[in-house]
A and B are shown apart, each in its own frame.
Chain A
């Protein structure tokens, strides 16, 4: 990468004055990624290890990811600093303009939010197609429509893809876009890390999608050894793709925590923090501290596959239990990375659409932080049947059931807010109520799984599969869709069509429950998870599920149609505050400028102070002008 030194210019250097001989953009990134893959593969294979060429593929993916990031432009700043060239002292905004900047490295948190949203919807589409193929195969009990190895590859790719989506689809799009707005800053604490947390995602998705080239992998998302030892190089996609997502979680988590702790505008005290920010904050705690364990464990698996280490190989002194524990020590906080920001969304939206203050704000915060804390102490409930020490099981059973208490608080706060409210039944509110219903079923079925004696029957069956689909699809995805309907006007400047939205809600709600409710019965009737074939007498049930799953998928396509139609083919700019709510992001104009706030705002009231005629506005947008120089989102580059 040749970067010419910047000639002397004005004291504040515009980003466009950086002369870069090879332009860094997404096309350069793709070319360099292909080159990087080739180099890595050649290098890995040249070691001539007895590793079934896993080294080549692993190094290929790793080099491709790194070179992609270099090509997109992440090396410009460090290289320039390394060679002593003059660089802009602060995040310089975008090298690119117009729609093109959405396809390239941008340090604007709003651009990153939109990038994340589109990437996550795309990934959700890939994962959804996987689900449809799975359900197609399960139309017939035996012989399966899809051969067992392909079927398990589909299951594995669907699950890993959806885990990618679930871990980043709230903090990524909405956290990045709205947390800085809600706390009154112009940027995140580390804009480059913020961009990095996004640009790690596309390589992860592409690498995961590349798995079938090498025969796929048949391990599910858990990747248990020794089964993974048997897998082809397709499993290397799992290792590298998942590691990249783990890194994205850490990077984004550190950034969010720092931003919320350090960059709150004056008046934005901890007890005034919007509950959505609390949700993102608690998920970021988990992401920061849980995801490194995943990355480390995955790298250990990579070493087992290539360098003949034996961390997880029982015949050579390692232990599959080590993998199980490392994986779930990450894996259980991970599911709260999914749901905590979803709680945040629901509790954020309820007051605005119920036109009432958030009932029991402090209790809600305690609930969110309680889940955050407890989530570290429950991971062995995934291993009740694995042969863990029996003395540990009562503890993990109890800690798992304890999670019901803070989760119950979230429901209480929701109920208190709904009590005698003036609910305006718009599309986001419908999805919030749908969330409460679906998550209730997910939560209650979780209690069935938490008690060891009942878990003997339910563990590893379709019952647990139905349980986590109710929490993740019925819970988190419903919250995401509520958030999309709610915030889309601010993010894109276009209203989503509300009539189509209402149709979408009922379509999706009914299809989801029809598709997943019978799966509890399938589990109770001894149908294990991840089987390509099943008992003949369960065919009617499975066909019913498959047909409703197709209808559910169609509802998502209908939603995609609404998004694309409203975004690109309606040409009316949405009003600045279409929902007439108090929160600060709606006080700002639509579309937002490059700088969120010309002057750093001073927060004067709560965003949820409805029904109080004397309530102060949330913030004074014409705040003191000199604060910009004191570190509150200081940003010298003009827009």
Chain B
């Protein structure tokens, strides 16, 4: 490394350090979804924040390098001249690979630990009936509130097996509750995406796809379909999902049980198949 190398490197390093500090400071101000309605969305928000903070210096470093070399390392004269014949630097290559590997490992460890906290734990229980146990909305020990999410062209309906399998067109959840979603579909693939809750799980016909959420704050949330499911896929959205206090939930579910009318579906079942199989018209 001669003097010019060192000068260029030093300039770049100083500029990178300064800009990174500014960049990270700005990145920390950015408000990222999904928010704080559930422990899962809190985890996801903090992971997204972390990734933004990690990637900001990387982004700044690369862009800085491109711009710096575009200005500092240009041809100047009228005659084409060649650069120094460097064929590589083994130690630098090893260091680079090691640094990227460490960042990758770090991200993977964070992601995997997030998974084991059941931040997004979805389990697969194809056609095994785990629903139907009737009980009260379990706030504390063991039992989770069961909610079946049924994707249909083109809306979601929700059944509450803990309350006799009553059905609602809007998702209503009690706060401070562990909830177990059982996601299925009666026709094509859908994806149940409760945005502010930080939940997304595909709805497959004939499959009981389980995902968990623990509500911590009241408020409304939006449910959308996140898997292409036919022509009205874009309209498959319901902004009227709500996390309410446990007392409100009890009142609401009692009312639903009182005027329980099957909205559109066949009798309650843990899974559904499209029937009959549909072929092109």
- Per-residue contact bits, chain A 389-405, to B (CB 8 Å; 1 contact, 0 not): 11001100110011011
**Contact A360-B100, Cβ < 8 Å, known A148-B234, A316-B277:** no
**Contact A451-B107, Cβ < 8 Å, known A460-B226, A533-B235, A611-B82:** yes
The 8 Å CB contact of A401, one of B33, B108, B232, is B108
Q: Does A321 contact B (CB under 8 A)?
A: yes
CB distance from A509 to the nearest CB of B (A): 12
> Which of B273, B274, B276, B277: most chain A Cβ within 10 A?
B277
By beta carbon, the residue of chain B nearest A220 is: B228
Residues 368-424 of A contacting B (Cβ, < 8 Å): 384-390, 393-394, 397-398, 401-402, 404-405, 408-409, 411-412, 415-416, 418-424
Chain B residue numbers with a CB within 8 Å of A218 are: 228, 230-231
By beta carbon, the residue of chain A nearest B280 is: A52
By beta carbon, the residue of chain B nearest A525 is: B33
Q: Are A453 and B44 in contact (CB under 8 A)?
A: yes
Q: Are B189 and A612 in contact (CB under 8 A)?
A: no
**Contact A363-B88, Cβ < 8 Å, known A224-B189, A224-B228:** yes
Residues 315-360 of A contacting B (Cβ, < 8 Å): 315-316, 320-321, 354-357, 359-360
Q: Does B15 contact A (CB under 8 A)?
A: no
**Contact A409-B96, Cβ < 8 Å, known A314-B205, A425-B74:** yes
Q: Are A229 and B277 in contact (CB under 8 A)?
A: yes
The 8 Å CB contact of A451, one of B33, B51, B97, is B51
Q: Are B85 and A609 in contact (CB under 8 A)?
A: yes
Chain B residue numbers with a CB within 8 Å of A94 are: none
Give the complex CA separation of A387 and B201 in angstroms: 7
The 8 Å CB contact of A433, one of B66, B83, B207, is B66
Q: Are B274 and A408 in contact (CB under 8 A)?
A: no
Q: Does B63 contact A (CB under 8 A)?
A: yes
Q: Are A385 and B279 in contact (CB under 8 A)?
A: no
Q: Does B55 contact A (CB under 8 A)?
A: yes
**Contact A528-B201, Cβ < 8 Å, known A423-B73, A453-B47, A457-B48:** no
Q: Are A456 and B40 in contact (CB under 8 A)?
A: yes
Q: Are B280 and A231 in contact (CB under 8 A)?
A: yes
Give the complex CA separation of A346 and B93 in angstroms: 19
Q: Are B114 and A524 in contact (CB under 8 A)?
A: no
Q: Is the interface of B mostly helix, strand, loop or mixed?
A: mixed
**Contact A385-B202, Cβ < 8 Å, known A149-B231, A218-B231, A401-B107:** yes
Give the complex CA separation of A609 and B94 in angstroms: 23
- Per-residue contact bits, chain B 200-211, to A (CB 8 Å; 1 contact, 0 not): 111011110100
Q: Are B206 and A451 in contact (CB under 8 A)?
A: no
Query: Which of A122-130, A240-248, A272-280, A440-448 contacts the other chain?
Result: A440-448
Q: Does B128 contact A (CB under 8 A)?
A: no
CB distance from A316 to the nearest CB of B (A): 6
Query: Which of B139-147, B191-199, B240-248 contacts the other chain?
Result: B191-199
Chain A residue numbers with a CB within 8 Å of B229 are: 227
Q: Are A359 and B87 in contact (CB under 8 A)?
A: yes
Q: Are B62 and A356 in contact (CB under 8 A)?
A: no
Q: Are B80 and A355 in contact (CB under 8 A)?
A: yes
**Contact A355-B85, Cβ < 8 Å, known A398-B108, A412-B93:** no
Q: Does A77 contact B (CB under 8 A)?
A: no
Q: Does A561 contact B (CB under 8 A)?
A: no
Chain B residue numbers with a CB within 8 Å of A316 are: 277
**Contact A148-B47, Cβ < 8 Å, known A444-B59, A457-B34:** no
Q: Does B215 contact A (CB under 8 A)?
A: no
Give the complex CA separation of A452 and B111 in angstroms: 7
Chain A residue numbers with a CB within 8 Å of B33 are: 457, 524-526
Residues 63-78 of B contacting A (Cβ, < 8 Å): 63, 65-66, 69-70, 73-76
Q: Are A390 and B124 in contact (CB under 8 A)?
A: yes
Q: Does B275 contact A (CB under 8 A)?
A: yes
Q: Are A457 and B200 in contact (CB under 8 A)?
A: yes
The 8 Å CB contact of B224, one of A363, A394, A448, A528, is A528
Q: Are B62 and A440 in contact (CB under 8 A)?
A: yes
By beta carbon, the residue of chain A nearest B86 is: A359
**Contact A447-B51, Cβ < 8 Å, known A230-B188, A232-B281, A528-B224:** yes
Q: Does B5 contact A (CB under 8 A)?
A: yes
Q: Does A65 contact B (CB under 8 A)?
A: no
Residues 591-636 of A contacting B (Cβ, < 8 Å): 609-612
Q: Does B112 contact A (CB under 8 A)?
A: yes
Q: Does A566 contact B (CB under 8 A)?
A: no
- Per-residue contact bits, chain B 166-210, to A (CB 8 Å; 1 contact, 0 not): 000000000000000001000111010101001111101111010
Q: Does B28 contact A (CB under 8 A)?
A: no
Q: Does B32 contact A (CB under 8 A)?
A: yes
Chain B residue numbers with a CB within 8 Å of A390 are: 115, 121-124
The 8 Å CB contact of A456, one of B44, B235, B237, is B44
Give the complex CA separation of A452 and B48 in angstroms: 11
Q: Does B259 contact A (CB under 8 A)?
A: no
Chain A residue numbers with a CB within 8 Å of B69 are: 415, 418-419, 421, 423
Q: Are B88 and A360 in contact (CB under 8 A)?
A: yes
Q: Does A112 contact B (CB under 8 A)?
A: no
Q: Does A152 contact B (CB under 8 A)?
A: yes
By beta carbon, the residue of chain A nearest B189 is: A224
CB distance from B113 to the nearest CB of A (A): 10
Q: Are B110 and A451 in contact (CB under 8 A)?
A: yes
Chain A residue numbers with a CB within 8 Å of B65 are: 415, 418
Give the complex CA separation of A222 and B202 in angstroms: 15
Q: Does A532 contact B (CB under 8 A)?
A: yes
Q: Does B222 contact A (CB under 8 A)?
A: yes
Q: Does B227 contact A (CB under 8 A)?
A: yes
Measuring CB to CB, which residues of chain B are less than 8 angstroms from any residue of chain A? Answer: 4-5, 8, 32-34, 40, 43-44, 47-48, 51, 55, 58-59, 62-63, 65-66, 69-70, 73-76, 80-89, 92-93, 96-97, 100-101, 103-104, 107-108, 110-112, 114-115, 119-124, 126, 183, 187-189, 191, 193, 195, 198-202, 204-207, 209, 222, 224-235, 237, 273-281
Listed A/B pairs (8) with beta-carbon separation below 8 Å: A227-B228, A235-B280, A356-B82, A357-B85, A409-B96, A447-B51, A456-B120, A535-B237
Instruction: Return the 10 tightest CB-CB contacts between A and B, nearest first.
Output: A531-B234, A460-B226, A387-B209, A356-B83, A611-B85, A360-B88, A611-B82, A451-B111, A315-B273, A314-B206
